[in-house]
Amino acid sequence: MTNRKGQVELAKEDLIKAVNQVLGIVRRNGRSRKVGLALVLMVLLGGRSSVRNAAETFGLDYANLL
């Protein structure tokens, strides 16, 4: 059985793979990587989130996300 730290690392790897898959789909549909990242972050925040909330939550540049 893996320890807690190992489980966190596995979950992190799975999240990164999922985000990269979504970004790939977004790119194939003609959108920029920034748009894809903004969409992924908004989904992670859930509910009625905004680009500004995503920028503040994850410490990203708001202007870049726009």
pTM flag (> 0.75): no
| Containing structural domain, residue 49 | 4-64
Domain count, the chain: 1
Give one DSSP letter per residue of 11-45, joined into a string: HHHHHHHHHHHHHHHHHHTT--HHHHHHHHHHHHH
Q: What is the pLDDT of residue 48?
A: 65
3-51 pLDDT tens trace: 887 888 898 898 888 888 888 888 888 888 787 777 777 777 776 667 7
